Amino acid sequence: MRNARRARLVLTMLLLTAFTLITLDYRSGALGGVRKVASAVFGPIEDGINAVVQPIGSWFSGLGHLGTYKHENETLHRQVAKLQTQLRLNATEHQEYLQEQKLLHLAGLAQYTSVAARVTAYGGAFGFESTVAIDRGSDNGIQRNETVISGAGLVGRVVSVGPHTATVQLANDSEFTVGARLSTGTLAVASVTGEGRGEPMSLTLLENTVRLAVGQQLVTFSSGPGGPFVPEVPVGTITRVTPASGQVAQSASVRPFVNFSSLDVVAVVVHSPKTIPHDALLPKSPTPAPTVTVTVTATPGAPTTPPGTPTGTGTPADTSTNTATNRSRTP
Amino acid sequence: MTAQRIALRVAVVVTVVLLQVCLINRMRLPLGAPDLLVVVVVAFALIGGSQRGAVLGFLAGLTADVLPPTHHYAGELAFAYTVIGYLAGMLDAGEESSVLTIITVVAGASVGVVLLYAGLGDLLGNARITAGATLHALAGTVVYDVVLAPFVVPLVSAAARRLEPVGSR
């Protein structure tokens, strides 16, 4: 009986402690420090474990998706056939699309300074949460709220940072919302929200002058420098428009460009540009790249050596004549 | 409870949480993922009683609350696992539990821990807690935990018995 009473006392104390922690964290985020310490201690361990288990995990993951892969393969075959026909039909339209894609990419890669990181651990909380840990942190210049991207587009945002680790809230997390605009040039700003793992994201557009259509692409929109997201990062494609008659808001489903279940390497944008590249989509003349100097350094000395320097002229001259003869022989 | 015992428990709990975030969650199994932590808490509670179950549940939940990556208020999981550890400990019969008992208790504990976390999260305004998401979480967690339980619970119990004989309680 004494034991039971003591157990109840312990339970009460522990629950009170838990409530105190929740209250502190809720009111002021006072436990950020504890999180920082935890990530400082456990981040490197997670990196180490990740190096070992990554192949195992991928294997298991592949096993789990075996059926999906088979189905996906079929679907992809059909899609390829369909796309090939489409490609022939509207080659010009496709060209435009490719250019747009490239420009979006340029906007991302040329103007943003980013830190590449590897995903080391996956959050869960019974599947409610969609978060990952990455192996770069404040020591690498990463700060809270910074945008995380991958080659495909928007991955998420940094929600907490340790010295060598950061936690990223993925864009498909239900508490994730980002401002986005249609990539077609119309400046209608919609909000795109995650709907949980494996679900398409949802879009709300508080405007009725712009019509949403399936296939339209979305990029992030930033209200200004220092905003939570860097602008012009590809988010996803509209897959379904919910018909809304006589309503002010329009809504749609968005399939994200990024596959959140197979993230490996991501990039954290650590410096957003000073000005928003609003017209990044417009066919601006690209800055001329340094082109000529490359060939000169490839064969140093051979033709340009001033007379009177005898050393080192032998081999480059030989190679150049070799290539010349090769070239003349080929046709 | 001595400092050494606490350290031992922390080590066990940290290992389990690391396994969860680095390996289990990575697998992206259909339906969801097992929650190894609740199985381990039940295993400890079944041989240690409600007080030890509550303490281990608290340590387990708090570790899962702060070990990256997480994005909820610290203490939420600690609350849920403490209650589950305490309740599971009340079933401590002082003898070897049958497989059926283990499966039943783990299933109940899995349901309980998900519902407690979801309820608390809902109170705190967590937008992730919807009826659909909760059902999804329940399905995945319970099914996989029940599969894991017959293997994990005896293993953990045996290890716990060896490390700290029941008589010393």
Average pLDDT, chain B: 88
Binned at pLDDT 50, 70 and 90, residue A118 comes out as confident
**What pLDDT shows up at residue A286?**
47
Q: Is A10 on the interface with B (CB under 8 A)?
A: yes
Residue among B51, B46, B75, B48 at smallest CA distance from B63: B75
Q: How far apart are CA A2 and CA B160, in angstroms?
A: 24
Closest to B33 (Cβ–Cβ): which among A127, A166, A167? A127
Among residues B69, B67, B41, B70, which one has the least CA distance to residue B56? B41
Q: Which residue of B has its CA nearest to A162?
A: B68
Q: Do A18 and B75 touch (CB under 8 A)?
A: yes
Chain A nearest-CA residue for B89? A7
Mean pLDDT, all residues of chain A: 73
CA B137-B138-B143 angle, 5° bins? 110
Please report residues of B whose CB lies closer than 8 A to that of A34: 66, 74
Is residue A135 within 8 angstroms of chain B, CB to CB?
Answer: no
Q: Which of A20, A3, A42 is nearest to A167 (CA)?
A: A42
Q: Which of A3, A5, A8, A11 to mutate to test the interface with B (most CBs of B within 10 A)?
A: A11
**pLDDT over 80 at B123, yes or no:** yes
Q: Which of A87-101, A239-253, A314-328 is predicted with the least confidence, judged by mean pLDDT?
A: A314-328
Q: What ipTM does the predicted assembly reach?
A: 0.88
The verdict on a CB contact (< 8 Å) between A126 and B140 is: yes
**DSSP symbol at B164:** S
Return the pLDDT at A205.
86
Q: How far apart are CA A182 and CA A191, in angstroms?
A: 11
Q: With contacts defined as CB-CB under 8 Å, which chain A residues touch B61?
A: 18
Residue of A nearest to B32 (CA): A127
Give the C-alpha separation, A190 to A321, whole Å.
Answer: 62
A120 touches chain B (CB under 8 A): yes
What's B54-120 look like in SS3? HHHHHHHHHHHHHCCCCCCCCCHHHHHHHHHHHHHHHCCCCCCCCHHHHHHHHHHHHHHHHHHHHHH
| A316 close contact with B: CB closer than 8 A | no
Q: What angle do CA B158, B55, B49 make, to 5 degrees?
A: 50
**Residues in contact with A177: Cβ distance below 8 Å, sequence separation at least 6, in sequence order:** A191, A192, A193, A194
Helix, strand or coil for residue B129?
coil
Q: Is A53 on the interface with B (CB under 8 A)?
A: yes
Q: Is A43 on the interface with B (CB under 8 A)?
A: yes
A118 CA to chain B: closest CA distance, Å?
Answer: 13
The A residues from 228 to 267 touching B (CB cutoff 8 Å) are 261
Note whether B71 contacts A15, CB cutoff 8 Å.
no
Q: Does position A95 have pLDDT exceeding 90, yes or no?
A: no
Q: Which of A15, A50, A61 sits opposite B22 (nearest CB)?
A: A50
Confidence of residue A306 (pLDDT cuts 50, 70, 90): very low
B14: nearest CA in chain A? A42
Apex A152 CA angle, A147 and A158, nearest 5: 20
SS (H, E, C) A151-181: CCCEEEEEEEECCCCEEEEECCCCCCEEEEE
DSSP assigned state of B26: G
SS (H, E, C) chain A: CHHHHHHHHHHHHHHHHHHHHHHHHHHHCCCHHHHHHHHHHHHHHHHHHHHHHHHHHHHHHHHHCHHHHHHHHHHHHHHHHHHHHHHHHCHHHHHHHHHHHHHHHHHHHHHCEEEEEEEEEECCCCCCCCEEEECCCHHHCCCCCCEEECCCCEEEEEEEECCCCEEEEECCCCCCEEEEEECCCCCCEEEEECCCCCCCEEEEECCCCCCCCCCCEEEECCCCCCCCCCCCCEEEEEEEEECCCCCCCEEEEEEECCCHHHCCEEEEEEECCCCCCCCCCCCCCCCCCCCCHHHHHHCCCCCCCCCCCCCCCHHHHHHHHHHHHHHHHCC
Asked if pLDDT for residue A300 goes beyond 60, the answer is no
For residues B138-155, give the mean pLDDT: 91
CB contacts, 8 Å: B140 with chain A:
126-127
Mean pLDDT of B138-149: 92
Q: Which residues in chain A are closer than 8 Å to B33, comparing Cβ atoms?
A: 124, 127
Q: What is the average pLDDT across B98-105?
A: 89
pLDDT at A321: 38
Q: Which residues share a beta bridge with A249?
A: none
pLDDT at B31: 82
Q: What is the DSSP letter of B23?
A: I
pLDDT at A224 over 80: no
Q: Is residue A69 predicted with pLDDT exceeding 80?
A: no
Q: Does residue B111 register a pLDDT over 90? A: yes
How many C-beta neighbours within 10 Å does residue A221 have? 24
Give the one of A45, A173, A261 whose C-beta lies nearest to B28's C-beta: A261
Query: A230 vs chain B: nearest CA distance in angstroms?
Result: 21
pLDDT surpassing 80 at residue A10:
yes
Radius of gyration of chain A (CA): 27
Do A34 and B32 lie within an 8 Å CB cutoff? no
Helix, strand, or coil (residue B33): coil
Contact B68 A25 (CB under 8 A): no
Please provide the distance, in angstroms rounded to a whole number, between the alpha carbons at the two ends of chain A.
99
| Contact between chains at B51 and A34 (C-beta distance less than 8 A) | no
The pLDDT assigned to A29 comes to 74
Tally the residues of chain A: 331
Please tell me the predicted confidence (pLDDT) of residue A327.
40
**Nearest CA to B71 among A223, A267, A219, A194?**
A194
High-pLDDT (> 90) share of chain B, %: 51
Mean pLDDT of A12-30: 88
Query: What does the pLDDT look like over B5-54, one tens digit per residue?
Result: 888 888 999 999 999 998 888 887 888 889 999 999 999 998 888 999 99
- The H or E element containing residue B130 is none
pLDDT above 70: residue B95: no
pTM of the model: 0.75
The whole-number pLDDT of residue A158 equals: 93
Note the pLDDT tens digit of each residue in A24-62.
888 877 777 888 888 888 888 888 888 877 766 566 666
Residues in chain B: 169
- Which residues on B lie below 8 Å from A128 (Cβ)? 117-118, 121, 126, 128-129, 133, 137
